[in-house]
Structures are given as structure tokens and as C-alpha cells.
A and B are shown apart, each in its own frame.
Chain A
């Protein structure tokens, strides 16, 4: 591959170009935008797949771009791709194709809708690639806007409240991040005389313990809201419940991931000492969230909310792995993050199909779908089993690595977290039982899966099994970059 071809920028701006085309072509034409969106998302996916397949797993940057941008303030346009961002970009690109397919029949302003989806993809790419803090912040905020409109315009009845809640929550976190970024920039400039927002340079800033702690907490405020970490989670269930199906797929698959990514790429390496100090707190919140969300999920009747809370519970697992701060746990955390995204995307996709056919999402009214829709139900069962951590399916591989990594440093945390496996079984089996078994529901649409739905579910199902039985390719990509990041902080 030609070295001087700016592949990363190409990857970054293709969705934007697609979005613009969607916008213009969408005026008065309701079919063309979805094809444009599908072609763009598909093309981006193929490129990122080739990118991942071609790269040998090494420690450094696989691809790197650096241009001048706003020189007065030392802001540069710096992008870098390593194993971690490669995996997450591939995941994002893959899920985005499915998100387009899930919302194929979007009839309300499809041009704008698909344009927003593509902008969201671009923003997520930017977050995963940016190595300049201002550039990163820009993309970080840019993710908010399409999501806000997707929920607020294309959602359900209470969509506006949900969108505002989502926006305010994340905005408050992001503002903390911005403040910390600017202070850090000024501090570093005063110390060294060179004012820059480059991540690598800022890592060298000398900070007092208090400064470091304050900055770290500001960064974490933004990331913890996005993850979301208990008790900052309450925007997520509303956003899921009121947002459109593709919005849920993107929320679970793209947005939540950026929080964890921000932690390991920015918050931990910039402030390693403060991070080390707050690990027990982080682990505590993660564990509480793990059980708390499961308990809440067990009480709910709205199946979309149940899946949302299961998402919070799983993210608790992910954060717990980060708090263990060792290779195995971190590999497990990132693997679980990828696998959870795929499982949850599957769950949300099927939930949307169930709602289309029955007109309800309430466990009280559903039941017996296996009888009328065996294929759809089989997929739902598969994703549910993956979600409750059945070995051989995706989530288990990540969970067991996390547990092993955590046990070697903090056995008690791991023992408590093992209990979470039981908790996930309780609410997931309740979900399965309320939808598939029994038999009091009369769906108005008797059609089992049609071809577009097969196209969405089969790749997800194949991945759920493949990543459960053979996750090595992903782990290989993650290994070296993660161990490099771990070294920054040193072992606790």
C-alpha cells in the first residue's frame, strides 16, 4: 500500500462525503439515500477490514498522519492507528452497515436520517484515530449531534425528553473534559515553552498530585458518562427506549466503546499516578453497577430497557477489568467490549423486529413467539445465551479473561464479579421466557424473518460463535498496543 496515500483521512472523510450525497440526493427521493448509505458504509467496512487483515500485530502505529492545522494554538491534525483503534474501527464500520440495514425502511426524511448515521460514523472514527486533544474533543462532541437528532426526531413518544437528557448528561461530562484539556495545555506550555495539544507531548507534563487527580477526574467524568458507569448511567435506558433501532445499535456498538477507549488512550496514560490511586474506586463503582443494573433489569417489563440495563451491567465487567490493570484483564476488557457490542446489536435488532410484528415491547403482553416466528426466536435465544455468558459464545471469552486477570491481583473483586454471571442468568432467562416461551401473544404480522433481516442477523450470529470459539485474531491485534499502554502506568 502506498505510504503517502492518506488512508486514515480517506477512511475518516468517506462517511462525510456519503452523508453530503445523502443530504442532497434525499430531497424528493426516498430510496436513493439508503443505497448511498449502504454503499458508503459497506465500502468503509471493506477498507477497514483490509486494513486489519494486512497489518502485522506490532506495538507502534500501523498508520500515522500528521499535518499542521491551527498553528497559533499548537493544534495539529494528527491521526494514528494501532491495533486497538483498528479493532474498534472495524467493529464500528461493521455495525454501521447493519445499522443502515436495520433502518432500511425509514420513511421519515430518509436523506437526513442516513446522513446523520454517516456523520456519526465519521465522528466515531475521528475519536478512535485522533491523537491531538483538540481534534479528539472536536470529534467527541461531534458524536453528540447526530445522536441527539436521531433520538429526538426519529424516536418514540417521549423522544424529546430522552434526547435532551442524553445531550445534557454527556455535555456536562464533555465540558469537564474541555476544561481539563485547556488547563493541561496551558500548564504544559508554561513548563516547556511549547504550546501543544499533542497527546505524546502532554504525557511529559510535570503535575502535582492534586493537579493530576483533578485533571484525571475531569477526563473520567466525560468518559464515565459515556461508558456509562454507575451512577452516571440514567441517560442510557431512556435513550435506548426512546431512540430508533439503529440508534440503539449505534449507542451500544459505537458510543459506549468510545468511553472505554478514552480511558485507556487518554485518561490513564496522561495521568497514570492518579489513575492508580482511583482504581479501587473505579472497581467499586463497576461492581456496584454490575449487580445494580442486573437487579433493575430483573424488574423491568420493557424488553428494550432490559437490554439497555444488561448493557450497563456488562460495561461494569469491562471497567472492572480495566481496574485490574494487567495484560490479561485488559485484553479481556477490550474483547468483551467488542463482543458485547456484537451481542447487544443483535439483541436490539431482534427487539426491533419483535416490536414490528407484535406492536409491543412489554413482557406482560409478549410470549410464545417461538411458535409463530421460530427463526427470529432462535436468533434471539442465541444472542441471549451469548449475553448471559455461555461458554463458546462471544461474551464468555472476554469475561473469563477479565476474571482471571482480576483474580491474580484482587481475588475478592473477582469472586464478587463471578456472582454477576448468575445475575445475568436471572434477568436474561426472564427475558427469554417472557418473549419466546408460554403462549399468550398474537402477533399481527405472522411473517418470520425476511431476507434483509437474515442479512442483518446471520453475520452477527456467525461472529457471536466465531469470537466465542476463536477470539485469537482480535487478541493478537490488541496484545502489543495494550502492553505498551500498561507500561506507562507501571504495575500497581
Chain B
């Protein structure tokens, strides 16, 4: 069993390393086989070891990474129910995305680099999931950052792409700093960085420390999960190839923050302040991103903002104290969002590599299959009754509602509001892309089979994953909650309340649809309003950051390199040199061979010496 568990991590790593080092020497389809095979193998290994994960989980230490003084970091795995379900999701979705990518990148001359990075990404993500200590988790955490940097800027010849990659790296690294500080602090407090060890000892801490630590972890999570205020990298990250958007910026990496908070839940949940902060960040991001999604023109940017918004829901769930609601939504979202992104890739191909939805339309005629797949994803996202998104989102909102106090009622109200916006922008997208007639003039580029059939299982999963955690009202047993041993997350509401909540959810869905239908059923070209532009630019957050962070940073840099380095340090140095030179020149003047000067010196010297002795004799 140990070997199987190790293989989960090792296979993607080996695949990535082999492709990175030798991929270019291998004949054409072999690197793709290695890449896909290793991830599928990893998925099978995860399936095989699934039964290990019961109770407190299975621990496996491979070797000691760093040991110094009383600090020790192992390369150790912790396979508990939370990690197991996450591993299955990551490897499963990643396998399908790899297959899709094999089709998508078929003609790219640089596909070896692509698959090497993709494999390494899966490895890094699994490291986050399986790590039994925070330092190893941090390795994965930074590893996904690097891989996403390389993949966002994959088509590096265009400077915008490389810029987007760099932005993602730096913005998420701001969050990483906070995570790193939390790690250092936790080690100093407990003398260990083992996740289990920390979680077992947190009860003894005082409240201020717990709150501060939790907030540090929250900011760290915000960076990777693109939550306010570290969210601005995600929309730009759409510059990467579509499979990358599906894997990294929808299904896995952006959920790493949620996973971290779930992993450290015993610590985080101790502080009501921190929990409220998590919930507030979540709902604020959900609402913010939903408004931005209303105005986007590029299909992938709509989806990017919707991802941000849905991850906001997950944060909300963590803040409400419901790990299983967060994980439920995380899993269902991974299915339908991966489906949506990959279907969007097909749509973009069908529209002749056009991203702009204003130049699409009529795509339903071009490919009914893509249409139905995309609609399946959109229905889940919009929360259509009985789809997985409906159940998982409903659980979060119901949990907020069930807490009863005014703060949580407010969260619920904002959550419903976000759901309305979500339904609206989903159907806006559907009408603009699929409805009416084709508005562009490009010839379609048919997606090949490999790009289509991985979407079918995802569509089924997206529609049906509600079964994972079906509530009692629908005769389900809340399997996920009991698997995660979080029975306290199962809601026991009055039947009337439950119907009320479900009724509201359905009503919101229908209302959003109707509003979108009214506005977008017929395509009318509209000049962009001021609000529209404001939303299109993500509330102009980039300008704000530019003003607050980037420009001061550059200004100080200029001050250092011009003012201090050249002005001050070199100035002082060359000043000293000049002084020495000047002194030397004057001294040289003395020795220039003027006999009269020498005689003067002789006389004056004589006078001084004689004077000195005279003075001494007199006194």
C-alpha cells in the first residue's frame, strides 16, 4: 500500500522530469503518452489506496528533507479522508484534462514543454494535498505557482502572455509571504510543523495568537485562490492555453486556498473573528466577481470571474464552519468548471479561434454536441434545480441561513444576490454564444475527438455529483459529510424552511434566466456604458494596485539605483578619490624643483625649531 501511495505523487513527477529532460529526443507521440499515462496511473493509484484513508488517516514518511537543531521537515504524506477525496478529484479531473490537452495541443510545436509543466503541476498540486507538514505543503504551494507561471506565459512570444504569467507569480507570492510567516510562527510556538501535530495542540493558544495566525493563513489562501484583495491575476491568467485554464484556474490550483483552510480547520475555527473574516472575504469576492462577470466580452474571462465568484462561496462555507459544504462545492465546481472551460475551448475553435462573444453567436448550429455539453456546465454553474451546483450552493446558503443571527442572514442575502447575478451572466453567455446567427467571419476549426469525449464523463459528473452529498430532503444520506467525519455539518431544518430555501434558490435561477432572456435573446450591439467599462476592468482594481504598489515600488527602486548607488555611494567614493588626488597634486607642487621654495622651507623650518627650543628654555 505504501508503494501505491507513493506512486500517486511519484508518477506525475517522473512524467514531468522525463519529459522536461528527454522529451525532445523522443518521437512525437511518446511524450504525450508519458504525460497522460502518468496522470492516469496516479488516478488509479489514488483509487487503489482510497480505503487507507479512514479515521485519522494513514501516515507515510519517505525521507527527511531538512533537519537542523530541533527543526525537522520530512517528505511525509498524510492520507486522511479529506486528502483522499481531494486526491481523487485532482487526479481524476487532471486525467481528463490531459487527454483533452493531447487533442488541443496536437499541432503545437512546443507540446513537450507544455506536458512537462502540466505533469509537474499535477505533482505540485498533489504535494499540497498529501503533505503531512506545512513546509512540504509550501513546496507544493510554490510549485503550483511556478508551473502556472510557466503555463500562463506558455506562448511567450507575445509579451502580454509573459506579463500575465509574471503577474500571477508575483501576486500569489504576496500571499505566500503571509503563509510563510504563519509557518515560522507555528513552528516557534509548537516546535513542529506537522499538520496533525499543530492541530492537536492549538487548543492551548490564546485568542489573539489564534486570530492572527488564522488571518495570516487567510491572506495566504487568498493569494492562491484569487480572493479579494489578491484576485487581480486570475482574469489575466486566461492568456494561457485553455487546458491550463481548465486545470489550474478552475479545477485545482485556485481551490488550494480553500483546501489549506480546511486542512488547518481546527486552528482556524477557534477564532470567531477569523471565521467572520473568512466568510466576509468569501462573500465579498463572490459578489465582486459576479458583477465583473456581467460585463466581460471574452468567453474565458467570464468563466474566470465566475471561478473567482464560486471560490468565494467556498470561502464563505469555511467561514460558516462547514468543511463539508466547502469541499462539496469544491468538488462539484471542479467538475462543471473544468467542463465549461474545455467546452469553451471547443467553442473558441468552432468560432475560428475567436475569444470575443460579441463575434460569436449561432454556435448551436455549428455543433449541437458542444452546445449541450456547454449548457450542462452552465446549468450547474447557474444552479439549475437538481444539478450538482444546485445542491452544493444550496448547502452553503442554507448553512448561512440556519445560523439565524443578523450577520449570517446578511451573508445569506448577499449569497442569494450573487446567485441571481450568476444565473443572469450564465444565460447571457449562453444566448450570446449559441443563440441567434453567427456574427463573425472566421471559418470554423472543428475540435477533434480527443477534445470532445473527455467532456462527456465530466458532464455526467457535473450533473450528477449532487449525489455525493444528497440531503435528507431528497432521500440522500449526506455521504460526503460522513466520509469527512463532519456529521455536525449536516443541517437539520424544519421542512417548511427547507422548502422555502429551495424555493428561493429555484426562483433566483429562473429570475436570472428570464432577465437574461429579455436582454440578450436578440443580439443588439450596445455602446459600452460607464458602468460597463468599470465592471469590464474589474472595478479598475489594476489601476488601484498600480497606483498604490507598483509605482511606489519602482520609485524607490529608482531612488536606490540613481540616488543612493550612483549619487551617494559612488559620490562619496569619487569625492574621496578627488580629495586624495588634490592633496597629491598640491604635494607634488612642493617637490617641483623650485629652489626658492626649498630655501623658504628651510628658513621657516629653522625658525620654528629654534623658536620651539627658545620657548622651552624660557618656560
Contact = CB atoms under 8 A, between A and B. Distances in A.
Interface in A348-382: 368, 370-371, 374, 378
A299 B561 CA distance: 7
B71 A299 contact: no
A391 B143 CA distance: 7
A433 B71 contact: no
Interface stretch (A109-117, A137-145, A212-220, A420-428): A420-428
Contact of B68 (A370, A371, A475): A475
A331 B156 contact: no
B417 interface: no
A425 B561 contact: no
Contacts of B82: none
A401 B68 contact: yes
A6 interface: no
Contacts of B20: 378
Interface in A293-329: 295-296, 298-300, 326-328
Interface string A234-272: 100000000000000000000000000000000000000
Interface in A411-431: 411, 414-415, 418-419, 421-422, 425-426, 429-430
A408 B173 CA distance: 23
A472 interface: yes
B560 to A, nearest CB: 4
A437 B146 contact: no
Given A296-B557, A404-B71, A437 B156 contact: yes
Nearest to A371: B157
A162 interface: no
Contact of A299 (B63, B162, B163, B557): B557
A414 B181 CA distance: 8
Contacts of A392: 139, 143
Given A391-B139, A415-B181, A429 B66 contact: no
Contacts of A332: 68
Interface string B549-580: 00001101110111011000110010000000
Contact of A295 (B157, B163, B188, B557): B557
A414 B188 CA distance: 12
B29 to A, nearest CB: 20
A469 interface: yes
B146 to A, nearest CB: 6
B509 to A, nearest CB: 42
Contacts of B156: 368, 370, 436-439
Contacts of A479: 68
A41 B68 CA distance: 32
B177 A472 contact: no
Nearest to A300: B561
A438 B184 CA distance: 38
B569 A438 contact: no
Interface in B176-193: 176-177, 180-181, 184-185, 187-188
Nearest to B150: A381
B562 to A, nearest CB: 8
Contact of B565 (A234, A401, A403, A419): A234
A328 B71 contact: yes
B65 A469 contact: yes
A234 to B, nearest CB: 5
Most chain B CB within 10 A, of A165, A327, A400, A411, is at A400
B68 A470 contact: no
Interface string A382-408: 000100001110000100110111011
Given A400-B135, A436-B156, A438-B159, A421 B180 contact: yes
A74 interface: no
A296 B573 contact: no
Given A292-B560, A391-B143, A438 B69 contact: no
Contacts of B479: none
A426 B560 CA distance: 15
Contacts of A378: 20
A296 B69 contact: no
Contact of B71 (A231, A401, A411): A401
B180 A438 contact: no
B276 interface: no
A423 to B, nearest CB: 9
B63 A470 contact: yes
B80 interface: no
Given A407-B185, A421-B180, A426-B170, A472 B64 contact: yes
A489 interface: no
Contacts of A430: 166
B170 A437 contact: no
B513 to A, nearest CB: 43
A391 B561 CA distance: 29
Contacts of A475: 66-68
A43 interface: no
A403 B557 contact: no
Contacts of B562: 299
B569 A234 contact: yes
B483 interface: no
B68 A331 contact: yes
Given A234-B565, A327-B69, A425-B173, A414 B184 contact: yes
B260 interface: no
B265 interface: no
Interface string B162-175: 11001001100110
Interface in B514-567: 553-554, 556-558, 560-562, 564-565
B69 A328 contact: yes
B50 interface: no
A390 B146 contact: yes
B561 A296 contact: yes
Contacts of A433: 162-163, 166
Contacts of A299: 554, 557-558, 560-562
Nearest to B162: A437
A309 to B, nearest CB: 9
A430 B557 CA distance: 13
B177 A426 contact: no
Interface string A432-468: 0100111100000000000000000000000000000
Given A400-B66, A438-B156, A234 B561 contact: no
A422 B170 contact: yes
Contacts of B174: 422
A392 B120 CA distance: 12
Nearest to A419: B177
Contacts of B558: 299
Interface of B: 20, 24, 63-71, 135, 138-139, 142-143, 146, 149, 153, 156-157, 159, 162-163, 166, 169-170, 173-174, 176-177, 180-181, 184-185, 187-188, 553-554, 556-558, 560-562, 564-565, 569-570, 573
Given A292-B564, A299-B560, A425-B170, 19 more contacts: A296-B565, A327-B68, A328-B71, A390-B146, A397-B66, A404-B184, A411-B184, A414-B184, A418-B180, A419-B177, A421-B173, A422-B177, A429-B170, A430-B166, A433-B163, A433-B166, A437-B157, A471-B66, A479-B68
20 contacts: A165-B573, A295-B561, A299-B558, A401-B68, A403-B180, A404-B71, A407-B184, A407-B187, A411-B184, A414-B184, A418-B177, A418-B180, A421-B177, A422-B177, A425-B170, A429-B170, A433-B162, A433-B166, A475-B66, A475-B67
Interface of A: 165, 231, 234, 292, 295-296, 298-300, 326-328, 331-332, 368, 370-371, 374, 378, 385, 390-392, 397, 400-401, 403-405, 407-408, 411, 414-415, 418-419, 421-422, 425-426, 429-430, 433, 436-439, 469-472, 475, 479
